[in-house]
């Protein structure tokens, strides 16, 4: 049997692979949201704008300073993460005593400002960013070309997700972090500077979004709207997975990427809505999300 | 659905001791109400553009509907564009294709908004706080995609040239001023309805849920039923506002179902003052006027709107009306 | 480049602030002034296609027309791609003495302003919308549709492409009315010219940024041409990813059904090479287009005009000629009469050459099928297109009888 529901198997396999690539972006973004939410109890609406800033920062580094993709991969998360730290210090930190909804509203507003400023500066038709020469080219799988860069995205994103998980679950820093999530006052009493940890965590979450942006720059058009289109889907991913677990959000991200990829083959018209439909089903069956703890 | 909301779990609380207030309006609120009504009566003759005023009133009603949820139940819906926009589409379709008179088209828009709200509310109230916000956002995005694809919405072109028709089959509404009185009436009725809901026994329970949901539950209230009913009412009023707007402009388009519209109504309510009676109206007036004057400034519109968002959250959480109220030591 | 854009926008906004606040009445000295309101997208998706550049093109027309006994004023507003904002501005403009509303991209806004212009009996020239309804069921005696529409794009790209050898097609279509119309019309022309349509895939709009899955499906169909029935960022992403997946390297042609010069510029030749598209104007087409581009250059700085932005130049120039011909006092009385005068006069300008306007409001001009050059073929900045086929003006658009325009039924 070399066909499944009328689709040649190799082609189906290729489509699964493509779905996995989109899943890599969902995973990285929802991971960043989960990390931030875990400690700050803020749902970071600026996340999409920060993803977009990551892509633009890579473009600026290349075109204005001649810094190539590989250095951008290291520099951009640091730069954008630093802007996140400033943002947290100046604004977000003022809201911790208030209802969490204010954090959402604030980050939403900041996102609007950032998107508007970039649109003013760079227009909206998008900027080109070339695939680095080391990763250009494609493997000929016979039935399709598989660009090397796409493979790189999946491997690299998976590695980043795994590393984040290891840091949080297996290191002393991560243990402090998890403890502070449970009971910040107690951890503070042990002499750990919780406010600083919160700031750095926000920076790290933002850095993950920016890293996603750098990865996306060579594939998608670098334009100011690229983040806001993605972020709502990522919110649905986060609701499906539940934000209680780091690993959960990663698995959900990759999984939904694959499901979306399959929808594109069998019923492309629904590929944008499928994730929202899954969200409704999950909410009806398991309101806390697949990996969430019931509040 | 109706049988559920009148389930035995709901108890009637005795109305608060009357202080001679009319419909729950306190004395300063009554003054403000009279000022507002006088303004509505005079504005079109004072050189203000009727279409602009109508737009303002539609958004004012929309913001009041939204405020019912955020201000009194504490639920932040980030998807109210779905009910607003769908109300507009249904009313537009009914008026243009089926030749329904305007009063029915508006009611139909409200009914569809409420029905959609019932379904979405039923799903969304399973989670609280920011999850609730994200779920409503995702659901409204679902509606947006359906509207892009569905044939009756006209896709990107939208429904164009919707006739305003004849009110009760008698009064021709094609003149801006006659339409204005209808819109003003719809607005005032909606505004008073929101106020009546808030000051009813039902509204008291809503506020109790906002203050402390577990406590309300422990008092024996089925809080989910109350939240759902509040959600339906809010969505229905948003539908009415959207329907009215589509008749005013003669168009119903994707802009009104887009998530940025959901963000805008949050902004209006926030600017005016969450949980205040007149705040949403003032907020809507400020934002709509700003959009009009900033039309020349292009991309800076979003930047300025975002800036106002940030400023409100950081410095003016009470909003314009809330701040004025605090200054005069009255509740407006 | 960024500073250029900012300066132009700031200039436009500044002038607008002086002359065109929506609420400011300007009835004084209006009797001897013609006011042209350019209503377009200054901030969103279509900004780079026309936006501030369309405004500058209009100003150039005013400058070249000179003072012929009356003043001309250009005012600007951003409709933010929102029909209600657009309608509001158009109503206020018309009420406050604006004589012509120009440009108006985005079909929903374009159609909505069409209704307003008719209601107020003013003149309206749309150069930015793609919907062929403007000269079809929604046609109006107050409106001229100056530039491209979906039918013209489909005819040129579909029909001419088959004649140039691309006879089997697969469509990647944005799943909404605009995409459907493009796919349907193009398929018809492909079949009429003897080509075949092997399949199509409809993807959700506007939620799709990854087109790889659809491109692979298209490739698997072994079609010679992949038709992109979409616009804006979607088209750019499709082209970019097609290059990544080596689609064009395998000899498959990519046909973008709605694309403009700035999009090609944004993609870069490395990615866009070999792309097929239709425009009615290219700056390097002939001596006249080169001449007008040279004259415009100080205003546009390092940007070249495309068919959408320069259509404003062409339309404004012809409009002003008609005003001069009928006299400014007469022109203020009725928008229909102005439009009728414009229809009665032959048009001629450097951008589109000689042309006419049909009774249904359709301006006729030739359409050109272009192929994007390879980096090796391109000798200068903005040297992007080579001409493949020309469709003459009389054949380029939907025949008068097929549009169901109520104006021509009698």
CB B176 within 8 A of CB B51: yes
What DSSP string describes C167-232?
Answer: -EEEEEEESSHHHHHHHHHHHHHHHHTT-EEEEEEEE-TTT----HHHHHHHHHTT-SEEEEE--H
Q: A41: nearest CA in chain B?
A: B130
**Residue with structure tokens 């887009």?**
B258
In this structure, the dihedral spanned by the alpha carbons of residues C163, C164, C168 and C170, taken in order and rounded to 10 degrees, is -110
For the stretch B196-232, pLDDT in tens is 898 888 888 888 888 888 898 888 888 889 999 999 9
- CA–CA–CA angle B84, B85, B88 (5° rounding): 90
Closest-CA residue to B161 (of C319, C28, C340, C140): C140
Per-residue pLDDT of chain B (332 residues; tens, 9 = 90+): 333 333 444 444 444 444 445 667 788 888 888 899 998 888 888 878 888 899 999 999 999 999 999 988 989 999 999 999 999 999 999 998 988 899 999 999 999 999 999 999 999 988 888 888 888 988 998 999 888 888 888 777 788 888 888 888 778 888 888 899 999 999 999 999 999 898 888 888 888 888 888 898 888 888 889 999 999 999 999 999 999 999 998 889 888 999 889 999 999 999 999 889 999 999 999 998 888 777 666 667 788 889 988 998 898 888 888 888 888 888 77
Report the pLDDT value the prediction gives residue B299, as an integer from 0 to 100.
65
Handedness of CA C57, C59, C63, C68 (dihedral sign): positive
Report the pLDDT value the prediction gives residue C30, as an integer from 0 to 100.
63
Distance from CA of B142 to the nearest CA of A (A): 6
Name residue C145's beta-bridge partners.
C126, C362
If residue C37 lies in a helix (H) or strand (E), which one and from where to where?
strand C33-40
Q: B137: nearest CA in chain A?
A: A232
Inter-chain touch B76–A284, beta carbons under 8 Å: no
Q: Is residue A290 part of a domain?
A: no
Q: B53: nearest CA in chain C?
A: C88
Sheet holding C363-364, edge to edge: C347-349, C353-357, C363-364
Residues B292, B306: Cα–Cα separation, whole Å: 16
Chosen from C176, C181, C206 to mutate, greatest number of chain B CBs within 10 A: C176
State both tokens at A98: 């208030």
Could you tell me which residues come within 8 angstroms of residue A46 by beta carbon, excluding any fewer than 6 positions away? Answer: A87, A107, A108, A110, A111, A114, A206
Q: Is B160 exposed, middle or buried (0-12, 13-18, 19+ CB in 10 A)?
A: buried
Report the pLDDT value the prediction gives residue A270, as an integer from 0 to 100.
85
Inter-chain touch A219–C207, beta carbons under 8 Å: no
State both tokens at A117: 């400023």
Chosen from A145, A152, A258 to mutate, greatest number of chain C CBs within 10 A: A145
Give the CATH number for residue A194.
1.10.3470
Closest-CA residue to C308 (of C236, C362, C373, C259): C259
For the stretch A75-91, pLDDT in tens is 999 999 999 999 999 99
Q: Is the pTM of this model over 0.90?
A: no
Report the pLDDT value the prediction gives residue C85, as an integer from 0 to 100.
83
Residues A91, A106: Cα–Cα separation, whole Å: 8
pLDDT band at A294 (very low <50, low <70, confident <90, very high): low
Inter-chain touch B126–A273, beta carbons under 8 Å: no
Name residue C229's beta-bridge partners.
C173
Inter-chain touch B291–C204, beta carbons under 8 Å: no
pLDDT exceeds 90 at position A293: no
Q: Is residue A294 part of a domain?
A: no
Q: Is residue A293 part of a domain?
A: no
Residues B258, B142: Cα–Cα separation, whole Å: 10
Closest-CA residue to C318 (of C366, C353, C280): C353
Closest-CA residue to A276 (of A293, A260, A258): A260
> Taking the mean position of all CA atoms in its chain, how far away is CA B117?
13
Domain C2-148+286-365, classified CATH 3.30.70.120, yes or no: no
CB A116 within 8 A of CB B299: yes
Q: Is residue A250 part of a domain?
A: yes
Report the pLDDT value the prediction gives residue B298, as an integer from 0 to 100.
62
Return the half-sphere exposure (C-beta side, CA atoms, 13 A cut-off) of residue C233.
24
Residues B98, A267: Cα–Cα separation, whole Å: 33
Residues C11, C226: Cα–Cα separation, whole Å: 41
Q: Where are the beta strands (DSSP E) in chain A?
A: 3-4, 7-8, 138-140, 145-147
Percent of the residues in chain A that have a pLDDT greater than 90, as a whole number: 38
Q: What range does the domain containing A70 cover? A: 3-285
DSSP state of C104: -
CB A150 within 8 A of CB C212: yes
The CATH 3.40.50.2300 domain(s) of chain C lie at: 2-148+286-365, 151-282+366-396
How does the average pLDDT of chain B come out, rounded?
A: 86
What distances in angstroms separate CA C207 from CA A145, A270, B258, one per listed residue? 24, 11, 12
Distance from CA of A1 to the nearest CA of B (A): 36
Report the pLDDT value the prediction gives residue C147, as an integer from 0 to 100.
93
State both tokens at B75: 């639920």
Could you tell me which residues come within 8 angstroms of residue C231 by beta carbon, excluding any fewer than 6 positions away? Answer: C130, C174, C178, C258, C259
Distance from CA of C372 to the nearest CA of A (A): 16
Q: Which residues of B touch A282 (CB under 8 A)?
A: none
Report the pLDDT value the prediction gives residue A83, as an integer from 0 to 100.
95
Could you tell me which residues come within 8 angstroms of residue A35 by beta carbon, excluding any fewer than 6 positions away? Answer: A164, A168, A201, A204, A205, A208, A246
Overall average pLDDT of the A272-288 stretch: 86
For the stretch B151-171, pLDDT in tens is 888 777 788 888 888 888 778
- CA–CA–CA angle C55, C76, C233 (5° rounding): 65
> Taking the mean position of all CA atoms in its chain, how far away is CA C292?
18
Report the pLDDT value the prediction gives residue A87, as an integer from 0 to 100.
93
Full 3-state SS string of C146-183? CCCCHHHHHHHHHHHHHHCCCCEEEEEEECCHHHHHHH
The ranges assigned to domains in chain B are 24-41+49-328
How does the average pLDDT of chain A come out, rounded?
A: 87
> Taking the mean position of all CA atoms in its chain, how far away is CA B234?
7
Q: Which residues of C touch B245 (CB under 8 A)?
A: 84
Question: What are the two backbone dihedrals, phi and then psi, of residue B171, each rounded to the nearest 5 degrees?
Answer: -95, 120
Could you tell me which residues come within 8 angstroms of residue B166 by beta carbon, excluding any fewer than 6 positions away? Answer: B101, B102, B172, B173
- The ipTM assigned to this model is 0.83
Q: Which CATH superfamily is domain C151-282+366-396 in?
A: Response regulator (3.40.50.2300)
What distances in angstroms separate CA A83 from CA A193, A204, A210, A281, one per listed residue? 21, 11, 11, 38
What total number of domains does chain A contain?
Answer: 1
Strands C33-40 and C100-103: parallel
B254 touches chain C (CB under 8 A): yes
Closest-CA residue to A21 (of A144, A150, A139): A150
Chain C: partners with 3+ C-beta pairs within 8 Å:
A, B
Report the pLDDT value the prediction gives residue C20, as an integer from 0 to 100.
36
Report the pLDDT value the prediction gives residue A122, as an integer from 0 to 100.
83
For the stretch A266-275, pLDDT in tens is 888 888 889 8
Q: Is residue A222 part of a domain?
A: yes
CB B39 within 8 A of CB B212: no
Report the pLDDT value the prediction gives residue A7, as an integer from 0 to 100.
67
pLDDT per 10-residue tile (average), chain C, 410 residues: 38 37 46 91 82 94 92 90 85 91 90 92 94 91 94 91 89 87 91 92 82 87 92 87 83 91 89 92 95 94 92 96 92 93 94 93 94 94 93 92 83
Domain B24-41+49-328, classified CATH 3.40.50, yes or no: no
Residues C249, C282: Cα–Cα separation, whole Å: 26
Handedness of CA C135, C138, C139, C144 (dihedral sign): negative
Inter-chain touch C209–A229, beta carbons under 8 Å: yes
Inter-chain touch A279–B308, beta carbons under 8 Å: no
Residues C110, C91: Cα–Cα separation, whole Å: 13
For the stretch A142-154, pLDDT in tens is 666 788 898 899 9
Q: Using DSSP, state whether A217 is helix, strand or coil.
A: coil
A109: nearest CB among B74, B124, B313: B313
């Amino acid at each position: 049997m070399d066909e499944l529901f009328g689709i040649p198997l190799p082609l189906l396999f290729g489509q699964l692979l493509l779905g996995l690539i989109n899943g890599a972006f969902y995973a990285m973004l929802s991971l960043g949201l989960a990390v931030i939410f875990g400690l700050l109890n803020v749902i970071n609406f600026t996340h999409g704008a920060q993803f977009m800033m990551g892509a633009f920062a890579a473009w600026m580094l290349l075109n204005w300073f001649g810094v190539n993709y590989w250095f951008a991969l290291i520099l951009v998360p640091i730069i954008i993460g630093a802007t996140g730290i400033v943002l947290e210090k100046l604004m977000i930190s003022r809201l911790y005593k208030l209802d969490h909804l204010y954090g959402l509203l604030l980050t939403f507003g900041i996102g609007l400002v950032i998107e508007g400023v970039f649109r003013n500066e760079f227009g909206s038709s998008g900027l080109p960013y070339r695939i680095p020469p080391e990763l250009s080219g494609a493997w000929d799988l016979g039935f399709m070309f598989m660009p090397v860069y796409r493979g790189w995205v999946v491997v690299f994103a998976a590695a980043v997700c795994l590393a984040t998980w290891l840091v949080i679950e297996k290191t002393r820093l991560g243990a402090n972090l998890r403890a502070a999530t449970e009971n910040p006052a107690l951890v503070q009493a042990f002499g750990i500077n919780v406010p600083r940890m919160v700031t750095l965590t926000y920076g790290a979450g933002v850095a993950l979004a920016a890293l996603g942006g750098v990865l996306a720059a060579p594939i998608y058009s670098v334009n100011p709207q690229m983040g806001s289109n993605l972020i709502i889907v990522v919110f649905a991913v986060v609701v499906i997975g539940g934000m209680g677990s780091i690993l959960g959000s990663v698995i959900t991200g990759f999984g939904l990427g694959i499901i979306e990829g399959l929808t594109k083959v069998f019923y492309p018209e629904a590929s944008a809505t499928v994730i929202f439909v899954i969200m409704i089903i999950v909410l009806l069956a398991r309101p806390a999300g697949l990996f969430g703890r019931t509040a | 659905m109706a049988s559920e909301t009148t389930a035995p779990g709901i108890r009637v609380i005795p109305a608060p001791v009357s202080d001679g207030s009319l419909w729950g309006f306190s004395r300063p609120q009554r003054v403000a109400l009279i000022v507002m009504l006088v303004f509505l009566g005079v504005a079109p003759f004072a050189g203000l553009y009727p279409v602009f005023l109508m737009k303002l009133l539609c958004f004012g009603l929309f913001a009041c509907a939204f405020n019912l949820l955020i201000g009194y139940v504490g639920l932040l819906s980030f998807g109210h564009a779905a009910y607003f926009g769908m109300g507009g589409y249904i009313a537009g379709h009914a008026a243009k294709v089926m030749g329904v008179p305007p009063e029915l088209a508006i009611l139909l828009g409200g009914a569809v908004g409420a029905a959609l709200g019932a379904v979405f509310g039923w799903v969304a109230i399973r989670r609280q706080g920011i999850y609730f916000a994200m779920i409503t956002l995702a659901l409204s995005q679902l509606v947006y995609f359906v509207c892009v694809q569905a044939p009756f919405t006209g896709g990107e072109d939208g429904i164009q040239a919707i006739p305003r028709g004849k009110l009760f089959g008698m009064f021709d509404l094609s003149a801006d001023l006659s339409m204005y009185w209808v819109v003003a009436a719809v607005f005032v009725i909606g505004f008073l309805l929101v106020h009546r809901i808030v000051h009813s026994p039902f509204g008291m329970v809503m506020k109790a849920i906002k203050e402390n949901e577990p406590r309300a539950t422990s008092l024996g209230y089925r809080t989910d039923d109350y939240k759902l009913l509040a959600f339906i009412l809010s969505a229905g009023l948003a539908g009415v506002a959207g329907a009215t707007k589509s008749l005013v402009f003669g168009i119903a388009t994707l802009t009104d179902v887009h998530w940025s519209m959901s963000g805008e109504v949050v902004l209006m309510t926030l600017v005016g003052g969450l949980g205040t009676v007149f705040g949403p109206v003032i907020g809507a007036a400020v934002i709509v006027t700003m959009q009009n004057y900033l039309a020349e400034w292009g991309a800076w519109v979003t930047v300025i709107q975002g800036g106002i968002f940030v400023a409100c959250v950081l410095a003016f959480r009470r909003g314009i009306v809330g701040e004025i109220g605090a200054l005069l030591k009255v509740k407006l | 480049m960024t500073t250029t854009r900012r300066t132009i926008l700031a200039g436009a906004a500044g002038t607008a602030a002086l002359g065109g606040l929506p609420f400011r009445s300007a009835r004084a000295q209006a009797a001897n002034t013609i006011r042209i309101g350019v209503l377009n997208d200054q901030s969103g998706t279509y900004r780079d296609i026309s936006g501030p550049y369309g405004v500058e093109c209009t100003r150039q027309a005013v400058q070249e027309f000179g003072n012929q006994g009356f003043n001309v004023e250009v005012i600007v507003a951003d409709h933010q791609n929102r029909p209600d904002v657009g309608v509001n501005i158009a109503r206020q403009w018309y009420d406050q003495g604006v004589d012509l509303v120009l440009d108006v991209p985005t079909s929903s806004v374009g159609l909505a302003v069409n209704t307003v212009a008719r209601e107020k009996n003013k003149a309206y020239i749309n150069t930015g919308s793609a919907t062929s309804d403007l000269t079809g069921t929604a046609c109006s005696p107050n409106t001229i549709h100056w530039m491209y529409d979906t039918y013209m794009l489909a005819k040129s790209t579909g029909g001419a492409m088959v004649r140039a050898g691309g006879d089997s097609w697969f469509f990647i279509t944005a799943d909404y009315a605009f995409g459907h119309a493009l796919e349907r019309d193009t398929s018809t022309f492909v079949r009429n010219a003897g080509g075949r349509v092997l399949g199509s895939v409809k993807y959700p709009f506007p939620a799709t940024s990854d087109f790889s899955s659809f491109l692979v499906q298209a490739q698997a169909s072994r079609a010679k041409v992949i038709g992109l029935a979409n616009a804006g960022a979607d088209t750019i992403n499709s082209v970019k990813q097609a290059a990544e997946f080596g689609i064009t390297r395998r000899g498959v042609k990519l046909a973008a059904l709605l694309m403009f010069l700035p999009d090609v510029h944004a993609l870069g030749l490395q990615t866009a090479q070999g792309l097929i598209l239709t425009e009615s104007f290219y700056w390097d087409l002939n001596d006249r287009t080169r001449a007008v581009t040279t004259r415009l250059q100080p205003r546009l700085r390092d940007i070249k005009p495309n068919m959408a932005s320069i259509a404003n130049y062409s339309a404004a120039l012809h409009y002003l000629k008609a005003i001069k011909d009928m006299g400014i006092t007469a022109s203020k009385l009725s928008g229909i009469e102005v439009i009728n005068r414009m229809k009665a006069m032959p048009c001629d300008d450097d951008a589109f050459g000689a042309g006419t306007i049909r009774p249904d409001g359709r301006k006729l001009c030739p359409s050109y099928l272009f192929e994007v050059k390879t980096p090796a073929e391109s000798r200068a900045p903005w040297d992007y297109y080579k001409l493949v086929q020309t469709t003459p003006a009389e054949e380029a658009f939907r025949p008068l009888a097929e549009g169901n325009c109520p104006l021509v039924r009698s």
